[in-house]
Amino acid sequence: MYRRVLGGVILAAIFLSLVLAAVWGRGREGGVGLGGGKVGLIYLTGVIAGEGGASPLFGSTADVRGVIEALSRAEEDPSIKAVVLRIDSPGGSAAASQEISDAVRRVQKAGKKVVVSMGDTAASGAYWVAAGADRIVALPSTITGSIGVIFETANLSGLYHKLGIQKEIIKSGPFKDMGSESRPLTPEERAILQGMVDDIYQQFVDHVAQGRHLPRQKVLELADGRVFTGRQAKELGLVDELGDLHTAVREAAHLAGIKGKPEVVELSKAPWFRRFFGGPLNGLLLPRFQEGGLKS
């Protein structure tokens, strides 16, 4: 009896927390503060995956489509004068990162400034997204950079041999099963994949050089996959300012010419567990790596 009552109390508490989160979020949509213009706030949190990417429990994969839709709303809403994109992501799919970056560019073409606020991590594909913003604000301890591209595939042929498994493949061309886990890559296949990685890498470097107004050679010197703290990144020209989310909002309002305290409108939500429990729990729930495929 006691266990049933205790279980009911726990379930009721969880339900109430979720209801409060939803109500709190809707209340925030109306904006806070006073002033002559609105700043849209959008969250990009978790691994950046494509449309077919997995979405594990607790939102460890970023809602790419939701972020793009939120950017589109900011682009079309005349009351939104600037956007703050809050990023806490280790990167992920190169293509998905490009999609978000393109959406950022459309907001800018609509005459609105975009300021990136970096949280714990804004690296690799997440830095690809950030590089095109008008301003980047990072915490001194933010982990960013990791400019580069990686492709991973597993060779399980040794394991298959030990288990007595022989995989039969019928294909239309010599490269149709390229990357198959049942055999090692041939030299020709390795060259093809290296060419793909190199091409996307050059796109990444060009994007950073253009977005950050840096000489391409300088970007190449930094684009070897290494990561930097926010403070190091500022010294290298990869970010503009050190500060928190409030700093980014003030910067966005300043760039947009908003007088007084801006009204902040959340166009997308931070994950509910981040709002309730903050960074420590989120660090346990968000994976730092994505398996397989071309990633930046």
Catalytic residue among 79, 141, 167, 176: 176
Distance (Å, rounded) from C-alpha 208 to C-alpha 129? Answer: 9
The total of structural domains in the chain comes to 1
Instruction: Give one DSSP letter per residue of 250-278, joined into a string.
Output: HHHHHHHT--SSPEEEESSPPPHHHHHH-
296 residues of the chain, pLDDT tens digit each? 544 544 554 555 555 554 444 433 443 444 434 446 899 999 999 999 976 554 444 447 889 999 999 999 999 999 999 999 999 999 999 999 999 999 999 999 999 999 999 999 999 999 999 999 999 999 999 999 999 999 999 999 999 999 999 999 999 999 999 999 999 999 999 999 999 999 999 999 999 999 999 999 999 999 999 999 999 999 999 999 999 999 999 999 999 999 988 999 999 865 544 444 444 333 333 333 333 345 56
125 within domain boundaries: yes
pLDDT at 260: 87
- With a CB cutoff of 8 Å and minimum separation 6, the contacts of 187 are none
134 within domain boundaries: yes
Is 180 among the residues known to form the active site?
A: no
Q: Do residues 295 and 71 lie in contact, with contact meaning Cβ atoms separated by under 8 Å?
A: no
Q: Do residues 112 and 74 lie in contact, with contact meaning Cβ atoms separated by under 8 Å?
A: yes
273 within domain boundaries: yes
Catalytic residue among 93, 117, 124, 146: 124
62 within domain boundaries: yes
Burial class (CB in 10 A: 0-12, 13-18, 19+), 141: exposed
Q: Which residue has the tokens 């209801």?
A: 19
216 within domain boundaries: no
Distance (Å, rounded) from C-alpha 154 to C-alpha 175? Answer: 17
Is 176 among the residues known to form the active site?
A: yes
Confidence (pTM): 0.78
194 within domain boundaries: no
Domain enclosing residue 265, as ranges: 34-146+225-295
pLDDT at 62: 86
176 within domain boundaries: no
For residue 230, the domain's CATH number is 3.90.226.10
pLDDT at 26: 40
250 within domain boundaries: yes
pLDDT at 61: 85
